Structures are given as structure tokens and as C-alpha cells.
Amino acid sequence: MSKERNKGLSLLGLATAFVLVASACSNGKAGGSDTGTAGTGGAKQEAPLKVSIMTTYYTPEPPGPDNVIVKEFEKRTNTDLDITWVSSNNYRDKLSVTLASGDIPDLVLLDDPFNAQVRTMVAQGAFWDITDVRKDYPNLMKFPDATWNNQKQRDGKNYGVPRVRPVEGGSGFIIREDWLKKLNLPVPQTTEDLYTALKAFKEKNPDGLKPTEVVPFAGATASDHLNNFIHLQNVFTGTHWHWKAINNELVRVDLLPEVREFIVYMKRLYDEKLIPSDFAVLKGSQVSDMVKGGKAGVYENIVENSWEPTEILRKTNPDATFLPLVSLNGFASKDNGSFGMFAIPKKVSEEKMKKLIALLDYGASEEGSDLANYGFEGVHHTVENGIKVSTEQAKKDIVAQQALGQIFLKYDKYLRAWRAGIPNDLYERNKKIIDMREKISVPDPSTGLYSETNLKKGGELDKKIFDLKVKVIMGVKSLEDWDQFVKELKANPDLIKITEELNEAYKARNSKAKG
């Protein structure tokens, strides 16, 4: 937040639209915002708007209802926020139960807007269509067109406000740069370079750990997908996720020889103990512990995540540095510009729906976003060389993008370059990495495309493919088993139908774009 005074905001209903109206202001310290109603002719202020929200968090604990920033946000927006915080480890399960119950909060984070349950509910009219409504909210309209377009449902409409994210700086490999320097190794540019580094980390143990403690590549799978290893598959296939555009046709990557090469590579890492032997059952929190404990040489995550373990390790090792790689084999992923969306159930009145969008619009403003993510200047952060540097109080008060910033956030191309406490030199380094990725990054060509068969059969098919990959990597099944499976997959009627339907949607979208 700048040193300028803070403007309090109230959610006020107008006859034709519901917008955030600026109120009187103060000096920017906690509790200093005036909740008067400037510009309303002295009219009595409305009662606070009650807002129920369900979202996730990535801090050790979520903010409580009496959190100083939550209370300030309520004061500035004249709201009463009832936030249900759900751990990222089980958010999807909790969301599924909540959606099925019909007792849906006013704002609910749909972390995957295109899963079968959400698509079905959208088709049934469960959520507000905000396609035209959003145009009245200037901060939301600052989101890139790609962010909104990539969230459109089958009918070409938007049914939620994106949890906006940059398109660059997403999933990639992060490596111990200080280990590379100790071993006189270059920063990996190819998968073979990566293998060489992992092998050296295992055999030469640059930090003198117990041999059993060294984890060259820390990663885990999820229950139905490759999770931390999907980016490595992407490096081999040259596309983002399951589908690749070849001669203007979408092809399932598992039918390509590049996926076989990926499996062979992964099996080599597994056989040589360069990835955890229990990678198929590890939890994300266990991988994080390996990284923060200084045992891991490489892991997969977004660019900004490189600072958190670096900060922890530097308490005992001043040279420790995690470096995000620009690319491997010339490949970098381009994200779709969001991480889910906040949908509003149709049980909410149209009047309240517009007020809720106004709330999110304030959260996407400079002031609202700074409050949610950085708190009060002089209390939760200081400004050094134009960079907001978080204080210890920020940690105590749980002021972070990983908490309230999961709801309220402005668009920032370099969002994934910054994390609380990062020194300026690493922040500038991360920005350069993002700029370099931008020149080569590849998007997922299938984002948002609709296939009825995929909706019904895709999950089961994905799970079957994933399970066999893991079994081959672990030696339970052979490469010959994979080869035979691919032959069967090419003739699988469900996959054939999914491919036809996705290509129909892909070509229709491309045609509209050209038109």
C-alpha cells in the first residue's frame, strides 16, 4: 500500500447498478478507515452486506474472522464476511460435497470450472451468467482477454469471476543453484542436462547430507494424474497437458512416441533413485518438507515459490538459492490466466449478485488488492526501492497472497515473480525469467473445449492411462505393456469420440477467432 491515505469503501445499492462508493479516508494505519458515506448526501449507511465465501488457503493456518485485515476489508466495503477456509489438500473433495448439497455460499471458488460436476450445474442454470454484467466493473475488465476467454463455458458465456493469475511464470522446474555451483555444473537446458545434475546431486552430495536423505528430484503424483511430473511430460511432448495441436488437429499426447520417451526417462530416474521410491503415494506436504528441509535438488512449482524454501534454508546456509529454470528442451508452459473462478449461485438475488461482483472488483483494485495481500504499510510491510517487503507482523497476522489474496487480487504480469520477503535481486531475476518464458511459452490448446463423451468417460480414461504409466515407471508393468496399450487406445471408441468432439469445438473456436 502506498503512503497516500487509504480510501474506505462501502457497498451501496443504486437504482440501476450496484457499485463501490468511496467514503472518507484516513492515514492508512490499522483501523483508521472512516466508514462514512461521502457522496450520499448524508444518507444513513446501509447495514453491512452479509457475504458467505468458500475458498482455499496455502498458509500454515487461515485468517480467522477477527483477523485485522479481514476486519479492515469489511469496514472499507461495508460487508460482513463469513469465509469458509478449506485446505488445498482436500478442497476439491469439500467443494464436490458442497455443490451436491445445494447449500452453496454466495461466492464459491470453483478451482476447476470444467469438471463434470461444474459443467452439469452450469448447464442446469445453477450459477449467474455474468458475461455482460462484468463489463460494468473497471478493475475486472483489466484482466486479460485470454483470462476471460479461457473461462467460457460451452455456450461461450462466463459464469464466474476468474481467480486471476498471470499467463507466465507458472509450472516449471526449480533447482538448487548453489549445488550446481559447488559441483561446477551449468544450469540445465535439456532433459539430459537435468539428468546429469540429478545424478551428481545423488552421487556427490554437495551439502554433505546422509546418503539416504538426498532427494535429487522431489515430486509426487496425485490420485489420478502425474501432478509434480506432468511438466516433465510436457517438456517431452512440447505441449501443455493432454492435447497437442498437430496440423490444426488435436491429438491425445499419450498416442505419441514422446510420451513413451518420457516414461523411459522417468523409469531411469526411478531405477537410479533420483526420485522418491514412494513418489506414487507421497503427499504434496511431504514433498514440500523435503524441499524446505534442504534435502531436494529439484522440484516443480511456480516461479515465486523459489523464494520460500530459499528464505528458510538461508537461515543456516547463506548461499542456499533455488533457481527457477526458464525452460527445458526449449519448452515453457503458458497458463490460462486464472486458477479457477468465483461463481455466484442463482439462489442469490440479482441485486446482491451485482454487489458481490462489486466486492470482487474492489478486491481487484490497487487499493483492495494491496490491503488483502500486503496489509498496512509500516505494520505488515515496508517499501524499499519500490518493493513491498513483508514484516514479521505480516506472518503473525497471516497477511499474504496465499491467504486473503486467494480471494482478492489485481492482475499483475509479474505476480509470480514476487513473494513476501523476497530481496530485490531475486525479484528482478524472476521478472527476467518470466520475460524469457513469454517468448517461447506454449498454452493448452484444449482449455475450455467441450466434449460430452469426455465429460462422461474422460476421467475414467485418464485414470487408466495414468495408472499404467506409474506401473511401467515402477517396473510393475513393462514398456511392451505400454506399447500394446497405446495400440488399444488408438482404437478405443471413447477416445475416438472425445477426439472428434474436441476437434469440432477446437475448429469452431478457431473459426470464431478468425471471424
Percentage of residues of the chain with pLDDT beyond 90: 81
Give the fold, CATH level 3, of 172-334+443-514.
D-Maltodextrin-Binding Protein; domain 2 (3.40.190)
Cell numbers placing 461: 480414461
- Which residues lie closer than 8 Å to 61 by C-beta, 6 or more apart? 398
How far apart CA 97 and CA 90 sit, in angstroms, is 11
Average pLDDT over residues 324-344: 96
First-last CA distance in the chain: 43
Domain 48-166+338-422 has CATH 3.40.190.10: yes
Report pLDDT digits (tens) over 184-197.
Answer: 999 999 999 999 99
How far apart CA 98 and CA 215 sit, in angstroms, is 38
Q: Name the residue type at position 353.
A: M
Exposure on the CB side of residue 503, measured as CA atoms within 13 A? 15
Secondary structure (H, E, C), 176-233: EHHHHHHCCCCCCCCHHHHHHHHHHHHHHCCCCCCCCCCEEECCCCCCCCCHHHHHHH
Lowest mean pLDDT among 27-41, 318-332, 430-444, 486-500: 27-41
Report pLDDT digits (tens) over 458-486.
Answer: 999 999 999 999 999 999 999 999 999 99
420: confidence class by pLDDT, cuts 50, 70, 90: confident
Q: Name the residue type at position 132.
A: D
What are the residue ranges spanned by the domains of the chain?
A: 48-166+338-422, 172-334+443-514
How far apart CA 204 and CA 208 sit, in angstroms, is 8
Report pLDDT digits (tens) over 199-233.
Answer: 999 999 999 999 889 999 999 998 888 999 999 99
- Which residues lie closer than 8 Å to 410 by C-beta, 6 or more apart? 139, 142, 164, 364, 365, 366, 368, 369
367: confidence class by pLDDT, cuts 50, 70, 90: very high
The whole-number pLDDT of residue 44 equals 64
Average pLDDT over residues 256-276: 98
Cell numbers placing 354: 451485482
Contact assessment for residue 216 and residue 201, using Cβ atoms and an 8 Å cutoff? yes
Under the phi-then-psi rule, with left for phi > 0, alpha for psi from -120 to 50, and beta for the rest, what region is 240?
A: beta
How far apart CA 56 and CA 90 sit, in angstroms, is 9
46: confidence class by pLDDT, cuts 50, 70, 90: confident
Whether 172-334+443-514 and 48-166+338-422 are alike in CATH topology: the answer is: yes
The whole-number pLDDT of residue 42 equals 45
290: confidence class by pLDDT, cuts 50, 70, 90: very high
Most confident of 44-58, 251-265, 446-460: 251-265
For the chain, helix (H) and strand (E) counts, in that order, are 18, 15
